[in-house]
Every structure is written in C-alpha cells, then in structure tokens.
Amino acid sequence: MSPNLVGTFWYLKDLDLWKTTKPYFINVPQHALPASQRASNEVSEPISDVPVHNMRDAGWRDDIDLCGFTYKRHDFQISTEVFKDSAAVREEYIPKVEEWLRHVTGAEIVHTLTSEVCN
C-alpha cells in the first residue's frame, strides 16, 4: 500500500443526541423486529481523504487500552484458494483464527459471527 493512499470512511455523526441516548444497531432483519422497533438509531457521515497506512512495516504500540484496537501478526499458513469457497473458509480458516485469538488474548470463548466470500 502506498503511504499516500486515502479512503472515505463512515463515522458516527457528532450529534447532541448521543449525550442522552446511546447509538445502537440491531443486526437482525427488520422483519424479525416488532413493527415499532427500529433496527438502528445510528446517523453516520462520510469522512473523506483519510490516510490509509500499511501496518505490516509500521512500528506499533501494542496497547489496546490506548488505541481501542491492536494489530497482531498470525503465524498460520493457509492457501489463498480457501478464500474462494465459503465452506472452506468456515472449515479451515475460521477455526484457525478462533484458536489464534484464544491464544493471543487469553479468551476462553471466541465465536465468529459471520464470514463472507466475495467473488
């Protein structure tokens, strides 16, 4: 990735509403909710020209408490062919990722909610 790469990202819009109400998104189809229940109260806005950096070679502060996320390298090898088939992703890749996350984080339970293969 070029260090000059920029993208547009959608961020939660800064509204006074968030001072009294937490933003929410319910990840189920709208038809599964009561008619009076909205799936989300989120209001987002695009922010353009956000610099995107390649983290592979960056010096990194491994501090999830400071940054809100962390970046780790995994050491398992997997063929790129796996990513062409949804079933192969679920059977070969996801279990490796979940085991790796248990090891890295010390979590007892790791559950992948979703995965998609886009061809």
Establish if 7 belongs to a structural domain: yes
Percent of the chain with pLDDT over 90: 39
Contact 89, 83 (CB under 8 A): yes
Q: Which amino acid is it at 97?
A: V
Same-domain status, 45 and 93: no
Alpha carbon distance 15, 11 (integer Å): 12
Structure tokens that stand for 20 in this block: 């009294």
Establish if 67 belongs to a structural domain: no
Contact 100, 76 (CB under 8 A): yes
Give the structural domain span for 17: 1-61
Number of domains in the chain: 2
Alpha carbon distance 60, 52 (integer Å): 15
Of 21, 38, 61, the last residue of a domain is: 61
Establish if 30 belongs to a structural domain: yes
For residue range 23-67, list pLDDT tens digits in order.
Answer: 999 888 888 999 999 999 999 999 999 988 777 766 666 666 776
pTM for the full model? 0.51
At 78, is the secondary structure helix, strand, or coil? coil
Give the highest mean pLDDT range of 15-19, 89-93, 100-104.
15-19
